[in-house]
Every structure is written in structure tokens, then in C-alpha cells.
Structure 1
Amino acid sequence: MLKLRLKRNGRKRQPAYRIVVMENTTRRDGRPIDEVGYYNPIAHKSVFDEEKIVKWLNCGAQPTETVFHLLKKCKIIKE
């Protein structure tokens, strides 16, 4: 099953995350199928490629709980 989830990057104690599409059995920092956004909790900055996200959601990819709340906050998902 495909998931929209966070992939950690950044330095120690300074996390930054990429929002990626990957298989749910792949490890957290494994190779993604597609990168669709960026989230930095320290700087409170998030960037999303809305077209790609909608495309993957229509293909059946399921967002994780955290990604769901980020997309809902940016009004990409309306529920």
C-alpha cells in the first residue's frame, strides 16, 4: 500500500522532513517513489506540491496521521 509520510533529514536536534510517497513496508529513510513537499517544524515552514499530492491521493495513497493534519491545515484535504 502506498503512503504519504514524512522522511527525516536535517542535523541532530534540528529535524526537517520531506513529505514523500513510498510503500508502507519501506523503512522511514528509504528511497521514495516521489517527493511531494517539505516541512520544517523548527521554522514553522511547509511547502507542498498540491498537484502531485492530489494525483497520489486519487491513485489510492493514504496519508499518515501527521501528514493528514498538515494537509488539512493547508486546506489541501477538506474533511
Structure 2
Amino acid sequence: MAMKIRLARGGSKKRPFYRIVAADSRMPRDGRFIEKLGTYNPLLPKDSEDRVKMDLERVQYWLGEGAKPTDRVARMLEAAEVLPKTERNNPKKAVPGKKAQDRAEEKAAKAAEASEAPADEAPAEEAAAE
């Protein structure tokens, strides 16, 4: 049985509230779970102690049993110093999209043409002045 430690959404519309649960990965997100391990309330301020509550002993147990945390839960566990911090690498995050790159190239080409045109006219003006 493939176990996951993940978030199960609760709360009403536009007012999310999550339970941190240990569940079989084949079950629906908000469906059957084996054990509730804690809660997460994203509406509270980030520095609030009540934002994330976890039973760390049970989390350690499930990790020992082979449960894999989802990305968001893994970040919470890293913040609680249960898991070692992992370096995330997203090199494409800062790269603009293809259309933005095309626009930047066109703008650079126009700027280059504009800077060359006055440079060509300047020697012609000097020759006319003599």
C-alpha cells in the first residue's frame, strides 16, 4: 500500500482549512484516510503558532513506515525540522516566456538601428559644415 502524508481540504468556499493526514495514495484527496496527523489553516498569519499544528511523533512513525510527504507537507516538515532541507532548483523560473523574449529582441534591434542612424548622420553633418 503506497502511503502519502498529504493535505485534505475542508472548510467552506473561499475559506480553506486543511487536515494533514496519512492516507493511501489511491484514495481521493478529501476521502478516506488512515490517521489525522495535524491541521493547516492558511488564513492565519505566517508567524502564528496555530497556522500549522502537527503530531510530530506520529509523522515520524509514518515516515518510518515509508509514507511519502507531498511537496507542501514536505515544506512544512522542513520548517518543523523533521525532514532535512532540500535545495530546490528551478532555473526556468526567472526566464521570460518565448513571446517576451521575442519582444525584447525586437526592441533591442530597434534600439540598435536607432543608435546607428544618428551616428551615420553625424559625419555627414560635419562634412556639410566644412
The TM-score bracket by the shorter chain reads over 0.9
Shift of 1:11: 1.1
Where does structure 1 differ by over 4 angstroms across 4 or more consecutive aligned residues? Answer: none
**Which moves more between the two structures, 35-44 or 59-68?**
35-44
Match of residue 62 from structure 2: 56
Whole-angstrom distance in 1 between the partners of 2:43 and 2:83: 23
* Unmatched 5+ stretches in structure 2: 46-50, 86-130
Q: Which AA in structure 2 matches 1:2? A: M
* Unmatched 5+ stretches in structure 1: none
SS at match of 1:68: helix
Over the matched positions of the two proteins, sequence identity in percent amounts to: 38
> How many residue pairs align between the two structures?
79
SS at match of 2:20: strand
Shift of 1:52: 0.2
Q: TM-score, normalised by structure 1?
A: 0.95
> Residue by residue, what CA displacement relative to the aligned partner does 1:31-77 show, whole Å, maximum 9, x if unpaired?
11011010001114110000000000000000000100011112121
**Superposed counterparts of 1:17-56, under 5 Å:** 17-44=18-45, 45-56=51-62
C-alpha RMSD over aligned residues: 0.9
Whole-angstrom distance in 1 between the partners of 2:61 and 2:73: 16
Whole-angstrom distance in 1 between the partners of 2:53 and 2:42: 12
Query: Which structure carries more helix by proportion?
Result: 2
